[in-house]
Amino acid sequence: MITKRYLMGAAAASLMAIAGSAFAGEALDRVMSNNVLKVATDANWPPQSFVNENNEMDGFDVDVARAIAERLGVGIEFVTPDWGVITAGRWNGRWDISVGSMTPTKERATVLDFPAVYYYTPNSLGVHEDSTATTPSDLSGKVVGATEATTYYYYLDHSLVIDGQDINFQIDPGEIRSYPSTAPGLDDLRLGDGVRLDGIIAGFPPLVKAIEDGYPIKIVGDPLFYEPLTVAIDRGDKEFNDKLAEIIEAMHEDGTLTEISLKWFNHDFTKGY
Amino acid sequence: MLYADTVESETLVHKPSFVVGMLLIFTALFTLFDLTESLFGHLMRPVIGEPSEAGFLGSLSVGFLVGLLLTINVVAIGFVRFRIQVLIVWAELFILFMAFFYGFDLNFEFIRSKIWFMVSQGLVTTLYVSALSITLAAMVAIVGAVAKLSSNGFAYAIASFYTSFFRGLPLLMQVYLIYLGLPQLGYVIDAIPAGILALTLCYGAYMTEIFRAGIQSIPKGQWEASRSLGFGFGLTMKRIILPQAFPLIIPPTGNQFIAMLKDSSLVSIIGVWELMFLARTLGSKDYRHLEMLVTAALIYWAMSICLELIQSKIERHFRTKSH
């Protein structure tokens, strides 16, 4: 199942690569004339984005998206396609922007534009409480999980490149198990040490959130790498890109982002490392 | 009963050898499972002492008790009439099933807070996507079936290509192809229409074959008689063939609808907020996936049971009408 989904994602990506890209100014015009910003988010990724008690989208990314829409002076609407569909680009105007904690990788930059970094997350290794691992390298040769098409996955298969960071690949996993999102991986890990997984690479915030919610998990060692996270738009619309860069710059400066970060993470993740 | 004869024979579950065999097998099984820590173990406390220290003899005696209860239950059910047997066994299996879910240690408060949204958003979306798709698929199927039976090479080729292609691909693949592929041709399709289109095309292909078989089952003489009365193709179809074919077509179509209800969960991958999507996402914030999955499973099941009842009503209706 997992492999199939992964292949599907790849098929989706290659299909999308055939199409053309957005024309200059088109996306910004569309947002302004429809008077609504259509945001692609994941509904399954607390605390960044999830469905809350009132069955509405909520979370850090969602709050950031709302703040952006407010500054553009337009309404907001959320859509929830698969992550792989978002990162594949060529959105054809289905939605205008992804505020989904996306890492600006070289591959993604061929189909998407990244107007601005809005925060940085540390990414860590989580293991079951009963695990004897004391450093990340203890997981070498073991079964380690990660969400497909994410930097966590690329960290495990040693293909991760982040501009301006030397990445020390401490884990050489025996098997990488990929998941459609973080939650099912955590569910596999909670079953017991080594039952299905020996460890999982995930963002520090979701790991902490899972532990708070009673998952029998602990975080091993220091963060493996820090990840600059950006909003993303379909490639080729310079006006929209510049407008968003300006808005996010202002949100960094006036403390809006810090405030949202403290609200959701109890840490200020907006300042880098 | 496959074949009801008039030979009187003893009920199988009342044969002494069968009863003893059953008791032995049940006892062995439950002894292996070691139920000393369960409710039964605690009930047996006067006999086996502290459950955790009972050892093999303890688990054997608990296994024997449970095996005995089960055997008595089976023998007792053997005495009553068929309908009552069915009712009792259903009720017992249902209770066991619920106990199984109960054992998951679910948070019922959480389920209660979400269930209305699962029904009003998820179930409604699932139902209307399925209902719309099955209606459209039936239209596709009737055209496809006529084309497949036609002596026109073009029509036959197109229809057989269609059924071959859409029956030959996984539905999940079709959902992706339509959602991601159509925009490449310049037509950007939203998630819900894409899902409906994929379900329509896939089920239309299966139902083409059902319709074709239904139409083909009408004896050739009906066509000949109709032609000799001077009826054209359209009139023959409308007045003679289809009215006779429908009783054969409708029951399997109902089956397809029940199957579609569950297959419609595949459109959750393109972000349609139907039952399966909500089952995966609503619990994510509090890490309560199991609650939502079990709830959605029961909703799907309840819905299928309702539809199966309607289905059997329809079947009965056509059975009495056609004979």
Structural domain boundaries in chain A:
2-120+230-265, 121-226
Which residues in chain A are closer than 8 Å to B284, comparing Cβ atoms?
43-46, 50-51, 183
Range of the domain at B85: 12-102
Q: Considering the domain boundaries, does residue B24 fall inside one?
A: yes
Residue closest to B296 by CA, chosen among B145, B115, B133, B165: B115
Both B182 and B261 in a single domain?
yes
**Chain A CA closest to residue B116:** A55
Residue type, A1: M
Q: Test B282 with A55 for CB contact under 8 angstroms.
A: yes
**Residues written for chain A:** 273
Dist. CA A97–CA A88, nearest whole Å: 13
Q: Considering the domain boundaries, does residue B5 fall inside one?
A: no
Both B93 and B116 in a single domain?
no
B320 sits in which H/E element: helix B289-322
Q: Test B287 with A183 for CB contact under 8 angstroms.
A: yes
Q: Ranked by mean pLDDT, which of A243-257, B1-15, B62-76, B264-278 comes out on top?
A: A243-257
Is A18's pLDDT higher than 60?
no
Both B29 and B120 in a single domain?
no
Residue type, B251: P
Q: Test A94 with B190 for CB contact under 8 angstroms.
A: yes
Angle between helix B124-149 and helix B242-263 axes, rounded to 10 deg: 140
Q: Considering the domain boundaries, does residue B190 fall inside one?
A: yes
Q: Under a CB-based contact definition with an 8 Å cutoff, are residues B114 and B295 in contact? A: yes
Q: Test A50 with B280 for CB contact under 8 angstroms.
A: no
Q: Test A50 with B191 for CB contact under 8 angstroms.
A: no
**Average pLDDT over chain B, rounded to an integer:** 89
Q: Which of A34, A48, A94 to mutate: most B Cβ within 10 Å?
A: A94
Task: List Cβ neighbours of A195 (8 Å cut-off, separation of 6 or more).
Answer: A188
What pLDDT sits at residue B193? 94
Q: Which residue has the tokens 């009906």?
A: B222
What pLDDT sits at residue A20? 42
Task: List Cβ neighbours of B168 (8 Å cut-off, separation of 6 or more).
Answer: none
First to last CA, chain B: 21
pLDDT digits (tens, 9 = 90+) for A53-76: 888 999 999 999 999 999 999 999
Q: Under a CB-based contact definition with an 8 Å cutoff, are residues A67 and A27 in contact? A: no
Both B69 and B130 in a single domain?
no
**Residues B191, B197, B202, CA angle at the centre, nearest 5°?**
125
DSSP B285: T
Q: Ranked by mean pLDDT, which of A6-20, A94-108, B64-78, B160-174 comes out on top?
A: B160-174
Of residues B235 and A24, more confidently modeled: B235
Measure A58 CA to nearest chain B CA, in Å. 10
Both B123 and B78 in a single domain?
no
Of residues B317 and A97, more confidently modeled: A97
Q: Considering the domain boundaries, does residue B2 fall inside one?
A: no
Task: List Cβ neighbours of B220 (8 Å cut-off, separation of 6 or more).
Answer: none
What pLDDT sits at residue B107? 86
pLDDT digits (tens, 9 = 90+) for B126-156: 999 999 999 999 999 999 999 999 889 999 9
DSSP A22: P
Which residues in chain A are closer than 8 Å to B114, comparing Cβ atoms?
55
Say yes or no: B318 contacts chain A, CB-CB below 8 A.
no
Is A203's pLDDT higher than 60?
yes
Q: Which residue has the tokens 């960044």?
A: A48
Q: Which of A44, A90, A187 to mutate: most B Cβ within 10 Å?
A: A44
Instruction: Give backbone dihedrals phi and psi of A128, rounded to 5 degrees, phi first.
Output: -70, 150
**Chain A CA closest to residue B284:** A44
Burial class (CB in 10 A: 0-12, 13-18, 19+), A225: buried
Cis, peptide link before residue A47, omega less than 30° from 0: yes
Q: Under a CB-based contact definition with an 8 Å cutoff, are residues A209 and B284 in contact? A: no
Residue type, A78: F
Both B314 and B187 in a single domain?
yes
pTM over 0.80: no
Is A40's pLDDT higher than 80?
yes
pLDDT digits (tens, 9 = 90+) for A205-230: 889 889 988 899 999 988 898 889 99
User: Span A156-160, mean pLDDT?
Assistant: 90
Q: Considering the domain boundaries, does residue B4 fall inside one?
A: no
Both B93 and B126 in a single domain?
no
Share of chain B above pLDDT 90, in %: 55
Measure A177 CA to nearest chain B CA, in Å. 19
Share of chain A above pLDDT 90, in %: 59
**Chain B CA closest to residue A86:** B270
Out of A46, A52, A82, closest to residue B269 by CB: A82
Rg (CA), chain B: 27
Q: B44-80 burial, b for 16+ CB within 10 Å, e for fewer? A: beeebeebeebeeebbbbbbbbbbeebbeebbeeeee
Dist. CA A233–CA A89, nearest whole Å: 8
Out of A12, A19, A44, closest to residue B280 by CB: A44
pLDDT digits (tens, 9 = 90+) for B15-60: 889 999 999 999 999 888 887 777 777 787 777 777 777 778 888 8
pLDDT digits (tens, 9 = 90+) for B169-180: 999 999 999 998
CA separation, residue B163 to residues B135, B208, B214 (Å): 18, 7, 16
Dist. CA B119–CA B121, nearest whole Å: 6
Both B115 and B224 in a single domain?
yes
Q: Which residues sit opposite A202 in a β-bridge?
A: A124
What pLDDT sits at residue A234? 93
Out of A19, A43, A50, closest to residue B183 by CB: A19
Q: Which residues sit opposite B311 in a β-bridge?
A: none
Q: Under a CB-based contact definition with an 8 Å cutoff, are residues B141 and B256 in contact? A: no
Which residues in chain B are closer than 8 Å to A51, comparing Cβ atoms?
278, 281-282, 284-285
User: Span A192-207, mean pLDDT?
Assistant: 92
Q: Test B284 with A210 for CB contact under 8 angstroms.
A: no
What pLDDT sits at residue A13? 47
Tokens representing B70 are 């089960």
CATH class of residue range A121-226: alpha beta
A:B CB pairs within 8 Å: 78
pLDDT digits (tens, 9 = 90+) for B108-122: 888 999 999 999 999
Dist. CA B194–CA B177, nearest whole Å: 9
Both B127 and B61 in a single domain?
no
**Residues B193, B197, B202, CA angle at the centre, nearest 5°?**
155
Dist. CA B49–CA B27, nearest whole Å: 20
Q: Under a CB-based contact definition with an 8 Å cutoff, are residues A147 and A83 in contact? A: yes
Both B33 and B127 in a single domain?
no
User: Span B177-202, mean pLDDT?
Assistant: 90
Is A270's pLDDT higher than 70?
yes
Share of chain B above pLDDT 70, in %: 98
Q: Do domains A2-120+230-265 and A121-226 have the same CATH topology?
A: yes
User: Span A105-116, mean pLDDT?
Assistant: 89
Confidence bin at A259 (pLDDT 50/70/90): very high
Query: Kind of pairing, strands A175-179 and A143-147?
Result: parallel
Confidence bin at A272 (pLDDT 50/70/90): low
Architecture of the domain spanning A2-120+230-265: 3-Layer(aba) Sandwich (3.40)
Tokens representing A191 are 């079953």
A38 sits in which H/E element: strand A36-40
Q: Considering the domain boundaries, does residue B6 fall inside one?
A: no
Out of B177, B184, B287, closest to residue A210 by CB: B287
Out of B183, B269, B285, closest to residue A50 by CB: B285
**Chain B CA closest to residue A19:** B184
What pLDDT sits at residue A271? 80
Both B116 and B97 in a single domain?
no
Say yes or no: B120 contacts chain A, CB-CB below 8 A.
no
CB atoms within 10 A of CB B5: 7
For B289, what's the count of Cα atoms within 13 Å in the CB-facing half-sphere? 21
Which residues in chain B are closer than 8 Å to A11, comparing Cβ atoms?
173, 176
Domain count, chain B: 2
**Average pLDDT over chain A, rounded to an integer:** 87
The interface predicted TM-score (ipTM) is 0.72
Say yes or no: B118 contacts chain A, CB-CB below 8 A.
no
Which residues in chain B are closer than 8 Å to A186, comparing Cβ atoms?
287
Q: Test B284 with A90 for CB contact under 8 angstroms.
A: no
Of residues B122 and A11, more confidently modeled: B122
Q: Under a CB-based contact definition with an 8 Å cutoff, are residues A125 and A200 in contact? A: yes
Q: Test B184 with A19 for CB contact under 8 angstroms.
A: yes
Domain ends where: B71, B102, B133?
B102
Which of left, alpha, beta for B16 (phi over 0: left; psi -120 to 50: alpha)? alpha
Q: Considering the domain boundaries, does residue B3 fall inside one?
A: no
Q: What is the DSSP string of B195-214?
A: HHHHHHHHHHHHHHHHHHHH
